[in-house]
Amino acid sequence: MDERFDAIIVGGGLSGLAAAYTLAEAGQEVLLLERGDYSGAKNITGGRMYIRPIKDMFPDLWEKAPFERGVAHEEVCVMSGSGSLLVRYSGEEAPYQSYSVMRAKFDKYFAKQAERKGVSIVTKTRVDDLVWADGKVAGVIVGDDELRADVVIACDGVMSLIAEKAGLRKPGNPKHYAVGFKEIIELDQELLEARFNLKDDQGVARLFVGDVTKGKFGGGFLYTNKSSISLGMVMGISDLMNEEPMIPAPEMLELFKKRPEVSALIEEGQIVEYSAHVIPEGGYRHLSNLCGNGILVCGDAAGFSINSGMTVRGMEYAMGSGYYAAQAVLKAKELKDFYCTGLSVYEKLLNDSFIMKDFKTFQDVPEAMDNKRLFTYYPELAINMMQKLYDIPDGPKDRIIPTVKGMLGFREIWTIVTKDLRRMMKL
Ligand SMILES: Cc1cc2nc3c(=O)[nH]c(=O)nc-3n(C[C@H](O)[C@H](O)[C@H](O)COP(=O)(O)OP(=O)(O)OC[C@H]3O[C@@H](n4cnc5c(N)ncnc54)[C@H](O)[C@@H]3O)c2cc1C
C-alpha cells in the first residue's frame, strides 16, 4: 500500500468498476477501494440494466455477463383502492435493450473482469478522508494510511462523503432523494415462467402506480429474474416522512404485497433478501460539481439517476460516467495537468454524451412529477372508467362514448386536466 497509483477509485459499484476497468485497459496503475466484503455486497438496484448506450464502452464485458432475463414484456399496473388495470406491451426481441440483474452477481463478475485487466481491488476498506497537496487532492486516507495518486475518482454512491470532503457536493435536501426498498423472492423457475407467461430467457418488468404508494410520490416495481422476483417500491423521502398517512417503508411494502394483484404472483415464494437504499432524484439541477483539482465524481455520487415516471435509470449512467471519467484522466495525463483545468474534459465528454443529453432532456421531470393527482386522482379515474365501461346494469346500458363523456364531461375536470397537461408536456 506504499505504492503511488495513477488513479485511486473510491467505491466498487458500477461507476467505480467502469472507471477502473477502462483505466487499467489503457495500462494505468489503478487502486480501487471498496468498503463492502466484495463488489455487489452493498449495491442495490431494482433492477434492470439498459445496455445499448454503454455496450460499446466495454465490448468484452457482455458475452458472459450474468444477466437474469431479457425484458421482453413491459407492464404497467394502475391501482386504485379497490381495483386495478394491467397493460402489457410485448414486442421486444433478443438481443434485448434491457436485462434484469442482481448486483451481488453482476458487480462481482464485473470486478473479476476489472482485476483481469490489472486493477488492484481492495475490499473491506473504507476511505475516511482525502489527502491534499499543492492545492489539489493527492490521495486518500484509510485509517492511519495515506495512499497517493495523480487523481482520485469518487464513486462512493449517493451520500458521497468523498465529493463532500472535496467541496464538490453539499448535504442534500430530502426533496431531491427517494428511498427504494425491495425483496428478492425465490420461486420455482417453471412456476415463475407459467405465472408470467414467459418463454426461455424472456422476462417481464412491471411498474405499479396509484394506490400502491397511498397517494405519495413513487411507485412499485417487479422484475422477473431466472428463478426469483425482485419486488419493491421507490418513494420520495420527503413525502414518505411528512405526508399523511404516515406509514413506515417496511409496512408500505407489506401492504403492497398483500394486494391481490401482487400476492397471487409471489405465492409459494421464499424471501431470500431484503434491502433498502437512497436514490438521487433531483435531476440536472441538483447534480454535484463533477470536477475539482485532482478529483472527479461519477455515478450516484454525482446524482446521475433519473426517475422518469416510467423507469428508474442509474446503472448505465454510473457505468457511462465511470468510462468518461477514465477517458478524462487519460487526457489529463497527456496534458500533465491533474488540476481542474486538465480534468474538466470530463464535463465536455459528459455534455457530448447520452448522459448529459438525457439529464437536460429530463430536467423538468422532477417538477412535473411533483403532483399528487398523478398518484391519486388519475389512477382512480382510470379504474372508475373501466368499471363503468364493463358494468352491465339491471336495466339498459348506455353507449360507450356517452359513458366516457359522463365521467369526463365536467368543466372542473377539464380545468384540472388542462393544467396538469401543461405540466406533463415537460415529461
Ligand atoms: C431500489 C432501487 C431501484 C433501482 N432501480 C434501478 C433500475 O431498475 N435500473 C437502473 O438503471 N437503476 C436503478 N437504480 C439506480 C442504480 O441502482 C444506481 O444508480 C447505481 O447502482 C449507482 O451505481 P454507483 O456505482 O454510482 O453507486 P453504488 O452502486 O451505490 O456504489 C457505491 C459503492 O461505494 C462504496 N463506498 C461508499 N463509501 C465508501 C467509502 N468511504 N470507502 C470505500 N467504499 C465506499 C459502497 O460500498 C458501494 O459499493 C435503483 C436504485 C435503487 C436503490
Kindly write down the DSSP assignment for every residue of 243-306, as one continuous string: SSS---HHHHHHHHHHSHHHHHHHTT-EEEEEEEEEEE---GGGPPP-EETTEEE-GGGTT--E
pLDDT score of 402: 85
Residues 6+ apart with CB under 8 A from 44: 103, 180, 182, 275, 276, 277
* Nearest CA residue ID for atom 35, ligand 1: 11
Q: Is the per-residue pLDDT at 408 higher than 60?
A: yes
**What average pLDDT does the segment 380-386 reach?**
91
pLDDT score of 368: 84
Mutation choice for ligand 1 from 140, 145, 300, CB with most ligand atoms inside 8 A: 300
Distance CA 322, CA 11 (A): 11
- Angle formed at CA 313 by CA 377 and CA 372, multiple of 5 degrees: 15
Percent pLDDT > 70 in the chain is 98
At 85, the pLDDT band (50, 70, 90 cuts) reads very high
Nearest C-alpha neighbor of 66 from the set 94, 117, 103? 103
- What is the number of helices (H) and of strands (E) in the chain? 15, 19
Q: Is the per-residue pLDDT at 1 higher than 60?
A: no
**Distance of CA 218 to CAs 77, 121, 273, 285, 389, Å?**
13, 36, 22, 20, 28
Q: How far is the CA of 93 from the centre of ligand 1 (A)?
A: 28
pLDDT, tens digit (0-9, with 9 covering 90-100), for 277-291: 999 999 999 999 999
pLDDT score of 2: 59
pLDDT score of 3: 73
Atom of ligand 1 nearest to the CA of 161: 41
CB 224 within 8 A of CB 183: no
Strand positions, DSSP E, 281-387: 291-292, 295-297, 306-307, 312-313
Q: How far is the CA of 203 from the centre of ligand 1 (A)?
A: 23
Mutation choice for ligand 1 from 124, 305, 354, CB with most ligand atoms inside 8 A: 305
Beta-bridge mates of residue 302: none
Instruction: Say which amino acid occupies 392.
Output: I
Distance CA 317, CA 17 (A): 13
Residues with CB under 6 A from ligand 1: 10-16, 33-36, 42-49, 126-127, 155-157, 161, 180, 182, 232, 234, 277, 279, 299-301, 305, 312-316, 318
Report the 10 Å Cβ neighbour count for 220: 26
DSSP 39: T
Percent pLDDT > 90 in the chain is 82
- Angle formed at CA 156 by CA 162 and CA 63, multiple of 5 degrees: 150
pLDDT score of 41: 96
Q: What does pTM read for this prediction?
A: 0.95
Mean pLDDT, the chain, as a whole number? 94
CB 315 within 8 A of CB 214: no
pLDDT, tens digit (0-9, with 9 covering 90-100), for 236-269: 999 999 989 999 999 999 999 999 999 999 999 9
Distance CA 50, CA 96 (A): 9
pLDDT score of 7: 98
CB 106 within 8 A of CB 44: no
Q: Is the per-residue pLDDT at 310 higher than 80?
A: no
Q: Is the per-residue pLDDT at 409 higher than 90?
A: no
At 369, the pLDDT band (50, 70, 90 cuts) reads confident
**What average pLDDT does the segment 220-227 reach?**
98
Q: How far is the CA of 321 from the centre of ligand 1 (A)?
A: 13
At 411, the pLDDT band (50, 70, 90 cuts) reads low
**What average pLDDT does the segment 346-362 reach?**
97
**What average pLDDT does the segment 117-146 reach?**
97
Whether a cis peptide bond, with omega within 30° of 0, leads into 167 is no
Residues 6+ apart with CB under 8 A from 71: 48, 92, 96, 97, 98, 99, 100, 203, 204, 205, 223
CB 300 within 8 A of CB 158: yes
* Nearest CA residue ID for atom 26, ligand 1: 299
pLDDT score of 423: 73
